[in-house]
């Protein structure tokens, strides 16, 4: 059974399967390598892993969904990580989250339909002096207001379209 996603080249997975398929207890390593290759764990890869390891797709998905490190959808070009740590929370992180989710039309752990933005709410970014703060890819944006957060996202969207 396959999802027949033409964008997933399963031949990329073969070296990993050749190395780990017959190694007992290696499922997490296989899933980690799969995510490194594709940026997420495609369903076609789950079925291929099942074929090669003899582990059922249901068990593979059970393991993968247990660990929060595994994603099942591609990430957007911009990963928006919004801090909800104590400093950010008391300085208005909830209002920033409302503005970001409204602006992007997605919730936490979702990706916009155009594939530009993925949103992740995190416990702490370690930038407490900038609270409330969000990181987009490797850049921190601090002292946010709802309007400032919206403008940052709009500027990135505009930049991506040029």
Task: For residue range 36-90, list pLDDT tens digits in order.
Answer: 999 899 999 999 999 999 999 999 999 999 987 898 988 999 999 999 999 999 9
Look at residue 6 in the predicted model and tell me its pLDDT: 52
Mean pLDDT of the chain: 93
Look at residue 1 in the predicted model and tell me its pLDDT: 36
What share of the chain in percent tops pLDDT 90? 87
Look at residue 57 in the predicted model and tell me its pLDDT: 98
Look at residue 7 in the predicted model and tell me its pLDDT: 73
- Second CATH level (architecture) for the domain 10-66: Orthogonal Bundle (1.10)
Question: pTM for this structure?
Answer: 0.72
- For 78-160, which CATH class? alpha beta
Q: Sorting pLDDT into bands at 50, 70 and 90, what band is 162? A: confident
User: 4 pLDDT exceeds 70?
Assistant: no
User: 8 pLDDT exceeds 80?
Assistant: yes
C-alpha–C-alpha distance, residues 107 and 14, integer Å: 34
Provide the residue ranges of all domains of the chain, joining segments of one domain with +: 10-66, 78-160
Q: Sorting pLDDT into bands at 50, 70 and 90, what band is 155? A: very high
Nearest CA to 29 out of 20, 18, 41, 42 is that of 20
Q: Are 99 and 149 in contact (CB under 8 A)?
A: yes
- Token look-up 């296989």 returns 30
Look at residue 37 in the predicted model and tell me its pLDDT: 94
Q: What is the average pLDDT across 126-139?
A: 96
Q: Are 17 and 52 in contact (CB under 8 A)?
A: yes
Rounded to whole angstroms, what are the CA distances from 87 to 33, 82, 119, 142?
Answer: 35, 12, 20, 12
């Amino acid at each position: 059974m396959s999802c027949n996603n033409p964008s997933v080249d399963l031949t990329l997975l073969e070296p990993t399967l050749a190395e780990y398929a017959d190694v007992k207890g290696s499922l997490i390593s296989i899933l980690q390598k799969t995510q490194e290759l594709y940026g997420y764990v495609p369903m076609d890869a789950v079925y291929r892993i099942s074929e090669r390891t003899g582990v059922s797709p249901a068990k593979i998905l059970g393991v993968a969904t247990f660990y929060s490190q595994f994603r099942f959808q591609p990430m957007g070009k911009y990963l928006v990580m919004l801090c909800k740590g104590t400093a950010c929370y008391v300085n208005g992180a909830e209002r920033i989250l409302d503005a970001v989710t409204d602006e992007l039309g997605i919730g936490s752990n979702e990706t916009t339909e155009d594939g530009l933005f993925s949103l992740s709410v995190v416990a702490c970014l370690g930038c407490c002096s900038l609270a409330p703060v969000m990181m987009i890819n490797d850049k921190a944006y601090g002292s946010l207001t709802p309007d400032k957060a919206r403008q940052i996202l709009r500027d990135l969207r505009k930049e991506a379209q040029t």
